[in-house]
Amino acid sequence: MNTQRRRTGRGEPLVLLHGVGLDHTLWDDLAPLLEPDFDVLRYDLLGHGAAPALRGQADIQDFIAQLDAELDAAGWQQATVLGYSMGGLIAGAYAAARPDRVSRLALLSTVFRRTQEEAAAVRARLASAATQDPQEAAKVSLTRWFTPAFQAARPARVAQIEQRLLDNDRESFLSAYALFALGDPLLAQAAPDIACPVLVMTGENDVGSNPRMTRELARALPRACARVAPEQRHMLPVEEPGTVAAALRSFVSAHPAQTQSTQTQTTLTNSTQADSTQANSAQPNSAPTHSAKA
């Protein structure tokens, strides 16, 4: 499969999956911080950058097959997978479908169980995207994604992201955006089958992938922790790469890579312990939440 990819660094295998309308250059700020500890692979998702175009309705299975092909090409049986925004939906679906290939999972700024109001809002944005002037649409997205302070401090980097949005193949973008906007059930369905350890992280002021979603997602996963970066919006890998790198490094250190048989046994043990706890307590389960210093 022809696509644009970069592989840098040395250490444990790590795959980075970008969000809708972006490409592998999203990770230009974060990847150098990870390269001392990880063999970092980043590539353009289908319908983005130099990857094959999307025509018709986007299918999550095609993105799963693409990740399979990328791992095979890298010679990796297993890797840590970090998905951002729409990339988080793909990463979660992949971890459930291919548990033997994902040692750990990180879901960054990822949507989960939108409320009726949130679902209506993203559907409205999807509808307007088909008719709205691309430059106007890009400006609206950038305002949602970046803090005013970052836009003022690094206008050139924001302009790069804006140009990436404007360069998208229109049909591919709308197809991918529909998967993101309407694919909310994907992660809810996948969550119970994700056996590996999971880091779930978002920005305190991310209105699209808000802290409530992050905490609910962590609670829905068998082995997860949640982190919220204070005062941040959606673009954590660009605005706060140091915070993300530190969180990922700490998470990986706390969860050494395991074989699938070990993961399965751990999940069964955790499930048994949870059943025992629920039988002796009326308190609801809650996922740990930590604040990441901005």
In this prediction, residues 40-68 reach a mean pLDDT of 97
d(CA 44, CA 16): 10
Banded model confidence at residue 149, pLDDT cuts 50, 70, 90: very high
pLDDT band at 261 (very low <50, low <70, confident <90, very high): very low
Report the chain's C-alpha Rg in angstroms.
18
| DSSP assignments along 70-89, one per residue | HHHHHT-S-EEEEEETHHHH
Model pLDDT, residue 227: 98
Assign 1 a pLDDT band (cuts: 50, 70, 90): low
Helices (H) then strands (E): counts for the chain: 13, 8
Strand extents, DSSP E, 37-162 = 38-43, 79-84, 102-108
pLDDT at position 274 over 50: no
pLDDT above 90: residue 221? yes
Q: Is pLDDT at 57 greater than 80 in this prediction?
A: yes
Q: What is the tally of structural domains in the chain? A: 1
Identify the pLDDT of residue 277.
Answer: 34
pLDDT of 2 reads 66
Q: Which residue has the higher pLDDT, 261 or 181?
A: 181
User: Model-level pTM?
Assistant: 0.88
Q: Residue 3: its pLDDT value, please?
A: 75
| Better-scored residue on pLDDT, 291 or 76 | 76
Range of the domain at 230: 5-291
CA nearest to 195, candidates 257, 263, 105, 254? 263
pLDDT at 108 over 70: yes
Q: Which of 99-113, 128-142, 265-279 holds the top average pLDDT?
A: 99-113
Question: Would strands 198-203 and 79-84 be described as parallel, antiparallel, or unpaired?
Answer: unpaired
- 8 A C-beta contact, residue 219 and residue 191: no
Read off the CATH number of the domain in which 195 is found.
3.40.50.1820
